[in-house]
């Protein structure tokens, strides 16, 4: 039996390892660390996307700007804002390229208007805050893997 696959886009491996530990018997998780590696991984036809927001550990040349361009020569002042919202920028670039997979973005955003805007502009998207319980996160991931089929 082939497991449904979800693509985890993060600069580390914390989400991937956590999800594999709790849900790996029912769902396969593949990891991408940048927009470029996410594009390649989409060839494996995942059913959905799980994105981290902050990519501070990513090399500067792998970050993308708000136009989806990489290989930027970034000053420290430009690096921080791009790395802190990289998950949104990667998803925006994927949506612009026609990727319509449902997505979960793990982000602590305090502005409800921003959350509503992002969920509408980058739909299908649900933003999951860090204080969400693990059982609720697991339920969202299971839903994503089944609804997307």
How many angstroms separate the CA atoms of 108 and 129, rounded?
5
Looking at the predicted structure, is the pLDDT value of residue 74 above 70? no
Is a pLDDT exceeding 90 seen at residue 78? no
The owner of tokens 């839903």 is: 143
Q: Which residue has the higher pLDDT, 87 or 83?
A: 87
pLDDT above 70: residue 71: no
3 phi-psi bin (left φ>0, alpha ψ -120 to 50, beta other): beta
- What domains lie within the chain, and their CATH numbers? 5-147 (3.40.50.2300)
* 20-58 pLDDT, tens digit each: 999 999 999 999 999 999 999 999 999 999 999 999 998
Q: In the Cβ-directed half-sphere of 11, how many Cα atoms lie within 13 Å?
A: 16
Percent of the chain with pLDDT over 70: 93
List Cβ neighbours of 146 (8 Å cut-off, separation of 6 or more): 4
Mean pLDDT in residue range 109-119: 94
């Amino acid at each position: 039996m082939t497991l449904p696959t979800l693509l985890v886009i993060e600069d580390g491996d914390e989400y991937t390892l956590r999800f594999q530990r709790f849900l790996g018997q029912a769902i396969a998780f593949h990891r991408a660390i940048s927009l470029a590696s996410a594009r390649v991984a989409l060839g494996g036809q995942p059913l959905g996307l799980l994105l981290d927001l902050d990519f501070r550990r990513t090399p500067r040349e792998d970050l993308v700007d708000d136009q989806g361009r990489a290989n930027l020569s970034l000053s420290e002042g430009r690096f921080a804002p791009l790395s802190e919202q990289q998950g949104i920028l990667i998803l925006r670039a994927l949506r612009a390229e026609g990727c319509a997979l449902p997505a979960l973005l793990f982000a602590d955003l305090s502005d409800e208007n921003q959350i509503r805007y992002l969920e509408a502009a980058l739909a299908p998207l649900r933003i999951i805050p860090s204080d969400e319980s693990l059982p609720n996160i697991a339920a969202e991931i299971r839903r994503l893997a089944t609804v997307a089929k």
